[in-house]
Amino acid sequence: MKKKSIAKVFILSLLKSILGIAIIIAVGFASYKISYMVLSNNSENVGTSSNEIKDIVEEAQTDEISKNLIYVSNDNKISHLMLEICNTKTNNMDYITIPVGTDYTIPTEMYQKLSIVNQEIPQIIRIGRLKQYFQNDEDAYGYGELIIEKMLGVKISYYTVLDQETYLNHYSRRNTEVKFKPLSLAESSSEKSVTVTEKINVASRSYVNQLKDIKGDQNKIAEFIKDQYERVDSNLTVYNKIGYVESYEKMDPDLIHYWGIPGKYSDKIFAVDTKASKSFINNLVNNTTTYTQAQVFNKVAKTSTKSSKGKSIIVLNGSQIGGLATAAKTTLTNAGYKVKKIGDYTAATLTQTKIIVKEDGVGKDLVKYFSNPVVETGTVDTGYDIKIIIGTADANN
């Protein structure tokens, strides 16, 4: 009997301990959830007096250099995408535009994990269609953040989602030239730098003036952030966003810099040069010099598409799959192009078809006959104006 009593007491004590631990965990989790809901969704509960802002700055969880992925949502698609880099050490602000027409091949290991979330997600995704690959928007933005991290080789701090109306009120578009040395594109073996014209997002003059009106006033900046949070979604709480107020106070809106991402267009599809982009972003992140001059954009010359008809074309089979060069010659000849010779490409097997032209602007009208080819200006065999090297991607084209 005595042994049974001891056992009973032990069991009761154990149950009480387990119950106590469970209550502590439950209370802690509930407190966290309540705090999170208050700070993230009920921005009106976050005070913006001088003393309250001082407490927020001391307690908020912030990064010295934050990377904010900004989605612009328009119905079921992403209409614009930017990476905002806020450097609290230099008080610089940079915006990098990532074309939503970007196609990205998700690495196999990551793709296998994403397939558990949605078996229908393709391995080659279009950035602008992220919302179509997931059942709810939160998953699209969260997993999209992980995909962009992998593509750019950068750790993203948080994301923000703007609606189309807010975007149109705050930003405009302009052309810029992005010059870089290819590191992970098809032509990466070349030592030459390339220049690509891209459309980037820049703050509108009215938005810049709005930011200048609150510059230097922490209370106004905090109120502005709270007001913005009524119209945006983010996985960063308004409390922690206000934690950046000291840096925002010192930033000059006229000195914000805007950039395109290293990569190339093939027809309307953009391919990010992942290695060159990682290097470019690291240079911005590691910049220790404060901007003192407004950014100057070079005038972008308009390029016209020139017809490839009448040009001498050589077609080489770089796929090691028989018959592709012959088939391409037939297709192009029937379309009115002059294919003078076909043959085999004796170097490494290509995946993506390359269209190499001697003259800028030529070759773009040939893109539609192949599967996402690369068009580049380069050296072409003597006697020819255009060299087409067919890759394995065109085996079923």
- pLDDT digit string, tens, across residues 243-254: 888 899 999 999
- In the chain, the amino acid numbered 53 is I
Mean pLDDT, the chain, rounded, equals: 85
Q: Is the same domain home to 9 and 60?
A: no
116-171 per-position pLDDT tens digit: 888 889 999 999 999 999 989 999 999 999 999 999 999 999 999 999 999 999 99
Are 170 and 237 in the same domain? yes
Residues 6+ apart with CB under 8 A from 161: 70, 71, 72, 73, 137, 141, 232, 233, 234
Lowest-pLDDT choice from 247-256, 287-296, 375-384 = 375-384
Q: Give yes or no for residue 20 having a pLDDT over 70.
A: no
The answer to whether position 170 is within a domain reads yes
In a domain, 36, yes or no: yes
Rounded to the nearest 10 degrees, what angle do helices 274-285 and 137-152 cross at?
Answer: 90
Kindly report the CATH number assigned to the domain that includes residue 161. Answer: 3.30.420.590
Q: What is the DSSP letter of 387?
A: E
Res 38 pLDDT > 70: no
Instruction: Report yes or no on 301 lying in a domain.
Output: no
| Residue 41: pLDDT over 80 | no
Of the two residues 209 and 41, the one the predictor is more confident about is 209
Reply yes or no on whether the pLDDT at 189 is more than 80: no
Say what the pLDDT of residue 187 is: 59
**What is the pLDDT, as a whole number, of residue 5?**
56
CATH no. for residue 351? Answer: 3.30.70.2390
pLDDT at 59: 67
Same-domain status, 10 and 151: no
Q: Which domain holds residue 17?
A: 2-41
CB 215 within 8 A of CB 249: yes
- pLDDT-derived band at 52 (thresholds 50, 70, 90) equals low
Q: Quick one: 262 and 377 in the same domain?
A: no
| Co-location of 185 and 37 in the same domain | no
What predicted TM-score, i.e. pTM, was given to this entire model? 0.68
Q: What angle do CA 172, 145, 196 make, to 5 degrees?
A: 45
Decide if 22 is inside a domain: yes
DSSP string, 382-394: TT-SEEEEE-GGG
Same domain, 8 and 30: yes
Q: Please determine, for residue 36, whether its predicted confidence score (pLDDT) is greater than 70.
A: no
pLDDT at 231 over 60: yes
Residue 294 lies in a domain: no
Say if residue 17 is in the same domain as residue 127. no
Least confident of 42-51, 101-110, 174-183: 42-51
Residue 167 and residue 161: Cα distance in Å, rounded?
A: 10
In sequence order, the β-bridge partners of residue 57 are: none
Q: Looking at residue 191, what is its pLDDT?
A: 66
Could you tell me if 120 and 264 lie in one domain? yes
At residue 19 the predicted structure's pLDDT band, cuts being 50, 70 and 90, is low
More confident of the two residues 4 and 264? 264
Is 303 part of a structural domain of the chain?
no
**Token pair 């949605």 in the structure block, residue:** 118
298-328 pLDDT tens trace: 777 665 678 999 999 999 999 989 899 999 9
User: Averaged over 370-377, what is the pLDDT?
Assistant: 84
Angle at 108 between CA 348 and CA 190, to 5 degrees: 35
295 located within any domain: no
pLDDT band at 242 (very low <50, low <70, confident <90, very high): confident
Residues 153 and 118 in one domain: yes
User: Would you say residue 297 lies in a domain?
Assistant: no
Q: Indicate the burial class of 69 (C-beta count within 10 angstroms; 0-12, 13-18, 19 or more).
A: buried
So what's the pLDDT on residue 192?
80
What backbone torsions phi and psi does residue 93 show, to the nearest 5 degrees? -130, 125
Q: Residue 333 is encoded by which pair of tokens?
A: 């000849």
Number of domains within the chain = 3
213 and 351 fall within a common domain? no
> Are residues 146 and 262 located together in one domain of the fold?
yes
Name residue 163's beta-bridge partners: 73
pLDDT at 70 over 90: yes
261 and 126 in a single domain? The answer is yes
